[in-house]
Amino acid sequence: MAVIPGHLHPLDKHLRLDRIPTLYCPGCGLGIGLGAMLRALDKRISEGVVDRNKVVWVGGIGCSARMAFYVSYDSAHVLHGRAIPFATGVKLANPELTLIVVGGDGDIAGIGGNHLLHAAKRNIDMVTVMFTNFVYAMTGGQVAPTTPLGVKTTTTPHGNPEPPLNIIKVVASLNANYVARASVTT
């Protein structure tokens, strides 16, 4: 990655620097995730696979979804759980665009869970990245569909009585063309 004059970091060219620093809490991992996504995007752009001028980021509600605020691409901040259908509409309107959907497990698997299922089933040509922290963190730590069994949250003070939804298995069962899991920790 070449550094652009006036930029201090090779990823600066992908960021709206006037919006940095982010609102992310120290240690949350979202900055690491955003950095990994930008490095991958930068590589695909430099290889000529992705046209930088045809990239669109879409985020719903929550800390993860706010990534769309920080990138220097066309982006949309939409209703909670509606990032995937919004991105689907963008893709249908202009199939040449590269769509990147970002959100948390509450946004994508909870509020937008049904949209995730149908987009995976249809193999909509978009990248969807779900950051899992196992709760609705931005609004107080309520139980989410991915909260592990027995974990205490603000809405399950005696522990989550339900087993968590395994999103990887659910999406893979719908024959999505690519499903992966990664961690921002070592």
Angle between helices 83-93 and 113-122 (to 10 degrees): 40
Q: Provide the residue ranges of all domains of the chain, joining segments of one domain with +.
A: 12-173
Question: Count of residues for the chain?
Answer: 186
pLDDT tens, residue by residue, 155-166: 999 999 999 999
Q: Is the pTM of this model over 0.85?
A: yes
pLDDT for 3 beyond 80: no
pLDDT for 7 beyond 90: no
pLDDT tens, residue by residue, 111-154: 999 999 999 999 999 999 999 999 998 888 999 999 999 999 99
pLDDT for 186 beyond 70: no
Which class in CATH covers the domain with range 12-173?
Answer: alpha beta
